Amino acid sequence: MKQRLFLSVLCILFLMYDAIPRFQIDLTLEGAFFSLWLVFAIMALGGNLAGLFFDRTRVQSMPEEDSVTELRKKQYSR
């Protein structure tokens, strides 16, 4: 899992390194496309970095009383 995220980060960084010097942000269709592409690339980079740095195994468990009421709802609901 961590290897896939690390590889994704490297690919995104390479694409940004390759694309940024080629485009200019201006008020044309090309500038709008590049601006949106850059926004999505930064969002993808942030999502992959968050997945890489934050661990999924830390999940809060429900208190004992909440799990009992959830079990009752599942048993008696239609």
Question: Mean pLDDT per segment of 10 residues, for the chain of length 78 residues?
Answer: 88 91 82 90 93 74 61 60
Cα dist from 46 to 41, 53, 69, whole Å: 9, 10, 38
Task: Give the predicted TM-score (pTM) of the model.
Answer: 0.63
Question: What's residue 7's pLDDT?
Answer: 92
Question: 30: part of which helix (H) or strand (E)?
Answer: helix 29-53
Residue carrying structure tokens 């999502």:
47
Q: What is the dihedral of CA 44, 47, 48, 53, to 10 degrees?
A: 160
